[in-house]
Amino acid sequence: MKIQFLGTAASEGIPNPFCKCKICEETRIQKGKNIRTRSALVIDDVMQIDLAPEFSYQVMRENIDVTKIKDLLFTHTHPDHFNVGDLFSRMVDYGFNITHPLHIHGNDIAINGCLAVLPNYSRERFVFNLAIPYQTFTTSSDYQVTPLLANHAKWEFCYIYLIEKAGKTMLYGHDSGYFPELTWQWLKNSGKKIDLAIFECTYGYKQNDRTNNHMSIETVIAAQQRMSDDGIFHAKTQLITSHHSHSSGFMHDELVEIFTPHKIEVAYDGLTKTL
């Protein structure tokens, strides 16, 4: 698998245009890896997870041909992940020379939200699929995907995704705080070994290793330890953090310094990893 990070920020982006905090002001000066657009990711050039408000800029910046993408997974419908209005540009009479439909997967709110902004859509452009917790499905691009419940919003099923193909397994683990016990038990009892995990780290230090809604630095480290103790991670599992917020209080290099002793990598916009 090739995993390409389009964006690695939490909901405000870094810098937050309405913020004058130290992190945002320093980012405006230093730029580089400190600049973060909202979170999204592309796998093998054919599958995308979430659609950020900066989608058009992200794919232009990374020179990605999004007409090749066959499947789009939504984790939940918060606006930094669910920029569904941009999909209208794929409708008939707006996007041309498109040879296959985009298969969209998500919870019921996500699917209904798509239908609301894509009236009279054509099945040659879109196919909608309701994702059910803990029920594995096969995407049109032949990945095995299992939606697992996250510890995030209370008013909808928010998903993290276990994704498998060609003997490789990755876990896209955000948005979520410390995972619900049902998800921990499913992962442990499945017997699956994860080769790459991506955890969000929205918070900085919280003096609490089991935060709700989002992960803190301590929560990431605690979840890594439980993954190892439960046999979900193996000796060569790669763990990467993403979805970083300016309110964490740390620049990119500072996050790298914090996580390096734990063998955890810090993602940045444009980072590409291969399994």
Contact 144, 161 (CB under 8 A): no
Domain spans of the chain? Answer: 2-274
H or E stretch covering 114? helix 108-117
Write the CB contacts of 30 (distance below 8 Å, at least 6 apart in sequence): 251
Tens digits of residue pLDDT in 89-146: 999 999 999 999 999 999 999 999 999 999 999 999 999 999 999 999 999 999 999 9
User: Within 10 Å of residue 88's Cβ, how many Cβ atoms?
Assistant: 13
**For the chain, what is the largest distance between any 2 Cα atoms, rounded to a whole number of angstroms?**
53
pLDDT at site 275: 93
Q: How far apart are CA 229 and CA 122, in angstroms?
A: 48
pLDDT at site 205: 98
Contact 134, 147 (CB under 8 A): yes
Exposure string over 135-154, b if 16+ CB within 10 A, otherwise e: eeeebbbebebbbbbbbbee
* Chain centre distance of CA 31: 23
Contact 64, 42 (CB under 8 A): yes
Tens digits of residue pLDDT in 192-239: 999 999 999 999 999 999 999 999 999 999 999 999 999 999 999 999
Q: Mean pLDDT across the chain, nearest whole number?
A: 97
| DSSP secondary structure letter of residue 165 | E
pLDDT at site 158: 98
Conformation bin of residue 219: beta by default, left when phi > 0, alpha when psi is -120 to 50:
alpha
pLDDT at site 95: 96
pLDDT at site 191: 95
Tens digits of residue pLDDT in 25-38: 999 999 999 999 99
CA 134 vs CA 157, 160, 217, 246, 269: distances in Å: 12, 10, 27, 33, 30
2-274 CATH, one of 3.40.640.10, 3.40.50.720, 3.50.50.60, 3.60.15.10: 3.60.15.10
pLDDT at site 130: 98
Contact 102, 126 (CB under 8 A): yes
pLDDT at site 264: 98
Q: Give the residue from 206, 138, 143, 196 showing the smallest Cα distance to 5.
A: 196
Tens digits of residue pLDDT in 162-178: 999 999 999 999 999 99
pLDDT at site 43: 98
pLDDT at site 153: 94
- 218: helix, strand or coil: helix
* Mean pLDDT value across residues 5-12: 98
- 64: helix, strand or coil: coil
Strand order in the sheet with 159-165: 137-138, 144-149, 159-165, 168-173, 194-200, 233-242, 264-266
pLDDT at site 3: 98
